C-alpha cells in the first residue's frame, strides 16, 4: 500500500486544510482542482505551511477525460476524499443544472474510476443540510435521525450523492464509503496561510463578520431576531475547519486499517449549539474589534436550530472537535487581516 490519498477540491476551503492534516499525519497526497471556486494561490499557501509543493493535477472531476488523467499519473491511489462540489445554497436554486452536472457527475466519475481498482475507499463530503429542520426533541441530532426532503438543489445533490454511494457499495465489492456530514465549518489555519475565500459578497456568517470588521462591509445583517430560541436568533453548530480536517484523517486511517462497515456515516460537529448573536458577541470579545450589526428580516429557507450529536465520531473515530470558539474566531480574523494586509 502506498498510503496515497486523492483529494478532490484540494484548493478549496476544507480540502486545503485537509491536505495539510493528511501530510502532517504521514500520508502521500495528490490534489485535484479545476479552480472553479478557488485559485492557484491556495496551493502556494499549502506549500508555505508544508515546506514543499504537493503533487497536484488541474482537472475537472465532472469531465471523465480530464479526471481520468489523475489516475493515469498516480496509479497508486489508496483512498479518495471527495470535496469537489459547488456549495452555495442560494446559487443552486438559480442554477440547478450546473449543480447537478458538477456535484453528481464528479461523484459518478469518481466511483467509476474507483470501482475497478483494488482499493475503492471513498470519503464523501456531506452536510447536515440532509436533516432539514430537526423534529422537536431530536436535538442534538444523530445519524439515525431521518433525513428530510432537501430545501435546495445543493442539499438535494448531497442526498443524491449519499444514495449513489450506498448503491455503489452494494454493487461493487471493492467500494467502501465513509460519508461525513459537516455542520458549519469556520475559521482558518493558525498560520493564516490558508482560509476561506468567498467569491463576491459572502453568503455565510463568519466571512461576513470578518469582512465587516475589516471595513469591507458597512454592517452585518442578522437574519431574524424572533425565532423560537433563547435570544431569537438561529442556532448552529460551528466547527473549526482544522478539527474537521483531522476527522478526515481519522476516517482514512479507519478505512485503510480495514476497520468498520463498508458504508459508514458520521456527524462532524462540536455538539454545542451557538446562536448568531452569541457568535457575534464572542467575535467582539476575542478580537476587541467593534462589529456594527442590525437585525434584518428572516432569510428564506433558514433552519431555526441544529446542532450535532457527534458521539459516534467521538467514539468510533476517536476524534473530537475541541478548539474553543474564541480561538476559532480569532483564526478567522487573523486570516481576514492577512488577506487584506491589515
Nearer to ligand UFG, 7 or 85 (CB): 85
Q: Give the Cα separation of 229 and 306 in Å (integer).
A: 11
Binding to ligand UFG by residue 203, rule CB under 6 A?
yes
Q: Find out whether the peptide bond into 140 is cis, omega within 30 degrees of 0.
A: yes
Residues 6+ apart with CB under 8 A from 72: none
Per-position b or e across 211-226, b if 16+ CB within 10 A of its CB: bbbeeebeebebbbbe
Among 10, 54, 161, 222, binds ligand UFG (CB under 6 A): 222
Nearer to ligand UFG, 4 or 181 (CB): 181
Instruction: List binders of ligand UFG among 274-313 (CB under 6 A).
Output: 276, 299, 302-303
Among 47, 66, 68, 204, binds ligand UFG (CB under 6 A): 204
Total site size for ligand UFG, rule CB under 6 A: 20
Binding to ligand UFG by residue 16, rule CB under 6 A?
no
CB of 81 to ligand UFG, least distance (A): 17
* Residues 239, 269 contacting (CB under 8 angstroms): yes
Nearest to 255 by CA among 269, 239, 266: 266
- DSSP lists the bridge partners of residue 308 as 141
Q: By beta-carbon distance, which residue lies closest to ligand UFG?
A: 234
Binding to ligand UFG by residue 244, rule CB under 6 A?
no
Among 236, 248, 250, 254, binds ligand UFG (CB under 6 A): 236
Binding to ligand UFG by residue 263, rule CB under 6 A?
no
* Residues 265, 316 contacting (CB under 8 angstroms): no
CB of 115 to ligand UFG, least distance (A): 28
Nearer to ligand UFG, 107 or 205 (CB): 205
Nearer to ligand UFG, 31 or 207 (CB): 207
CB of 276 to ligand UFG, least distance (A): 5
CB of 253 to ligand UFG, least distance (A): 26
Instruction: List binders of ligand UFG among 111-170 (CB under 6 A).
Output: 127-129
Nearer to ligand UFG, 119 or 275 (CB): 275
Q: Angle at CA 180, nearest 5°, toward 177 and 182? A: 165
Distances (CA, A) of 160 to 155, 167, 299: 9, 11, 25
Q: Give the Cα separation of 41 and 108 in Å (integer).
A: 28
Would you call 238 a catalytic residue per the annotation?
Answer: no
Could you give the 3-state DSSP secondary structure of residue 101?
helix
- Taking each helix axis from N to C end, the angle separating 325-339 and 205-213, rounded to the nearest 10 degrees, works out to 60
Nearest to 4 by CA among 107, 106, 75: 75
Specify the stretch interacting with ligand UFG by CB under 6 A; choose among 73-81, 111-119, 201-209, 249-257: 201-209
Specify the stretch interacting with ligand UFG by CB under 6 A; choose among 112-120, 167-175, 217-225, 262-270: 217-225
Q: Give the Cα separation of 301 and 313 in Å (integer).
A: 28
Helix extents (H) in the chain = 13-24, 41-50, 64-73, 89-94, 96-99, 105-115, 153-171, 205-213, 241-256, 276-287, 311-316, 325-339
Binding to ligand UFG by residue 229, rule CB under 6 A?
no
Residues 6+ apart with CB under 8 A from 222: 233, 276, 277, 280, 293, 294, 295, 296
Binding to ligand UFG by residue 234, rule CB under 6 A?
yes
Build a one-symbol-per-residue string for 88-107: x at contacts with ligand UFG by CB under 6 A, - elsewhere: -x------------------
Catalytic residue (one of 99, 154, 238, 240):
154
Binding to ligand UFG by residue 208, rule CB under 6 A?
yes
Instruction: Just list the catalytic residues.
Output: 154
Name the residues that contact ligand UFG, by CB under 6 A.
87, 89, 127-129, 184, 203-205, 208, 220-223, 234, 236, 276, 299, 302-303
Amino acid at each position: 500500500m502506498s498510503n496515497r490519498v486523492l483529494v478532490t477540491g484540494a484548493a478549496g476551503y476544507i480540502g486545503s486544510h485537509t491536505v495539510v492534516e493528511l501530510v502532517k499525519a504521514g500520508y502521500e497526497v495528490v490534489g485535484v482542482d479545476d479552480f472553479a471556486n478557488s485559485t492557484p494561490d491556495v496551493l502556494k499557501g499549502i506549500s508555505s505551511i508544508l515546506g514543499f509543493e504537493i503533487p497536484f493535477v488541474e482537472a475537472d472531476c465532472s469531465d471523465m477525460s480530464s479526471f481520468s488523467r489523475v489516475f493515469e499519473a498516480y496509479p497508486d491511489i489508496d483512498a479518495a476524499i471527495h470535496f469537489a462540489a459547488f456549495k452555495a445554497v442560494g446559487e443552486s436554486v438559480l442554477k440547478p443544472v450546473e449543480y447537478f452536472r458538477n456535484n453528481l457527475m464528479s461523484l459518478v466519475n469518481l466511483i467509476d474510476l474507483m470501482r475497478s481498482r483494488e482499493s475503492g475507499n471513498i470519503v464523501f463530503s456531506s452536510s447536515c443540510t440532509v436533516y432539514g429542520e430537526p423534529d422537536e426533541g431530536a436535538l442534538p441530532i444523530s445519524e439515525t435521525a431521518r433525513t428530510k426532503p432537501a430545501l435546495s438543489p445543493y442539499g438535494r445533490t448531497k442526498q443524491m450523492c449519499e444514495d449513489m454511494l450506498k448503491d455503489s457499495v452494494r454493487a461493487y465489492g471493492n467500494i467502501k464509503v465513509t460519508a461525513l456530514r459537516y455542520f458549519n465549518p469556520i475559521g482558518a489555519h493558525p498560520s493564516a496561510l490558508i482560509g476561506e475565500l468567498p467569491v463576491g459578497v459572502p453568503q455565510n456568517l463568519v466571512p461576513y463578520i470578518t469582512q465587516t470588521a475589516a471595513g469591507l462591509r458597512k454592517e452585518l445583517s442578522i437574519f431574524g431576531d424572533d425565532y423560537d430560541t433563547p435570544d431569537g436568533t438561529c442556532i448552529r453548530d460551528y466547527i473549526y475547519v482544522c478539527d474537521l480536517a483531522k476527522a478526515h484523517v481519522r476516517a482514512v486511517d479507519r478505512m485503510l486499517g480495514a476497520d468498520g462497515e463498508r458504508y459508514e456515516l458520521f456527524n462532524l460537529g462540536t455538539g454545542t449549539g451557538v446562536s448568531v448573536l452569541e457568535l457575534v458577541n464572542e467575535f467582539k470579545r476575542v478580537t476587541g474589534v467593534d462589529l456594527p450589526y442590525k437585525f434584518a428580516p428572516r432569510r428564506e429557507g433558514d433552519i431555526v436550530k441544529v446542532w450535532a450529536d457527534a458521539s459516534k465520531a467521538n467514539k468510533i473515530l476517536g476524534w473530537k472537535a475541541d478548539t474553543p470558539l474564541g480561538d476559532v474566531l480569532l483564526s478567522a480574523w487573523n486570516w481576514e487581516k492577512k488577506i487584506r494586509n491589515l
